[in-house]
Amino acid sequence: MEVSMAHLPGWVIVMDYILGLIMWTLIGRVAMNIFLPIHSDFFFMKIFVKYTDPVIRLFNPITPGFLVPPLIPLYVAWFFYLFRFYFMPWALGYSVMGMLSFPLEGEITQLLLLIFSRQN
């Protein structure tokens, strides 16, 4: 089952990759924050914080005050997910794109399928 993205314009794929990387980095920060404090000396935690803080600050005006600080990146990631799930298909003229329709996740899924199907 090969899914082709050849019908998508290049700007859509690039935009989805950027938005997807931001979304998954925010989710990664929340996941790492379960095990490490936000100001940890661990290299990856420093990178997650360094690259996600500007995005979180951008969303400060619409972030509710009752959210627990470790969950704020997840709240911001939710906006990126909503944009990718609802606006992008609408902008392309689709009513429904279906499961794994995000180009970034579709490419990763195809790669994993290729890797694990060759082991049998």
Q: In this predicted model, what pLDDT tens digit does every residue of 27-53 receive, in sequence order?
A: 999 999 999 999 999 998 999 899 999
- Going by C-alpha positions, the residue among 47, 48, 71, 41 that lies closest to residue 59 is 71
**pLDDT tens-digit series, residues 67-87:** 999 999 999 999 998 888 877
pTM of the model: 0.76
**Hey, where are the domains in the chain?**
10-117
- Residues 75 and 63 sit within 8 Å (Cβ to Cβ): yes
Cα gap 79→85, rounded to integer Å:
10
